[in-house]
């Protein structure tokens, strides 16, 4: 006896998920109920780098050429998950860290909200915060560089 599988697609749900992707800037979203799963993904070419916003003051061209790209920098703190980034525990609270701060290993540097859960992101090493590469409240992708520690 074979079990019959319903393969009908809820077009309205797919459209809603696609709109949610566009609103949040995410590249993929998955929704499941029981054994049914719907995954909506989009290819992003030039739009993804637009999410990274340099917060520090502009550097001189000679300095910019000498420093490695943020993703390749050995002190880059990368997003361990997809979500929304927050630099303070509450909207009116001061940020965990600011440019120029000395950060110790294991210190909370930001929060990533994923699926309504606030995940504290800790510094993987000690150093001085020299770059903030994303804006507060911005969506981030897995592996995206967020901060640079020197």
What b-and-e string marks burial along 63-99, b requiring 16 or more CB atoms within 10 Å of the CB? eeeeeeebeebebbbbbbebbbbbbeeeeeeeebbee
Residues 58, 15, single domain; the answer is: no
Residues 27, 57, single domain; the answer is: no
Predicted local confidence at residue 21, as pLDDT:
75
pLDDT band at 108 (very low <50, low <70, confident <90, very high): very high
Tokens of 49: 């780098």
Q: What CATH number is associated with residue 65? A: 2.40.50.100
Q: Is residue 4 part of a domain?
A: no
| Residue 115 structural domain | 49-149
For residue 50, pLDDT over 60 is answered with: no
Q: Is residue 1 part of a domain?
A: no
Q: In what order do the strands lie in the sheet with 145-149?
A: 76-78, 145-149, 127-132, 102-103
Which residue would you say has higher pLDDT here, 112 or 68? 112
Q: How high is the mean pLDDT of the chain? A: 78
Residues 95, 72, single domain; the answer is: yes
Beta carbons within 10 angstroms of residue 58's beta carbon: 8
Predicted local confidence at residue 111, as pLDDT:
93
Q: What is the tens place of the pLDDT at every residue in 72-102?
A: 778 888 999 999 999 998 888 999 999 999 9
What residues does 30 pair with on adjacent strands?
Answer: 39
**Computed from CA positions of residues 59, 61, 62, 66, in that sequence, does the dihedral angle turn out positive or negative?**
positive
């Amino acid at each position: 006896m074979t079990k019959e599988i319903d393969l009908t697609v809820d077009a309205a749900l797919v459209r809603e998920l696609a709109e949610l992707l566009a609103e949040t800037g995410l590249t993929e979203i998955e929704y499941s109920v029981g054994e049914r799963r719907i995954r909506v993904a989009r290819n992003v070419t030039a739009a993804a780098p637009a999410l990274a916003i340099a917060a520090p003051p502009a550097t001189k061209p000679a300095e910019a050429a000498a420093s490695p790209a943020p993703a390749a920098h050995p002190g880059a703190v990368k997003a361990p998950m997809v979500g929304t980034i927050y630099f303070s525990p509450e909207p009116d609270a001061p940020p965990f860290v600011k440019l120029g701060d000395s950060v110790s290993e294991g210190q909370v540097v930001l929060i990533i909200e994923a699926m309504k859960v606030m995940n504290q992101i800790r510094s993987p090493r000690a150093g001085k915060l020299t770059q903030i590469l994303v804006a507060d409240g911005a969506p981030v992708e897995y592996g995206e560089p967020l901060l640079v520690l020197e």
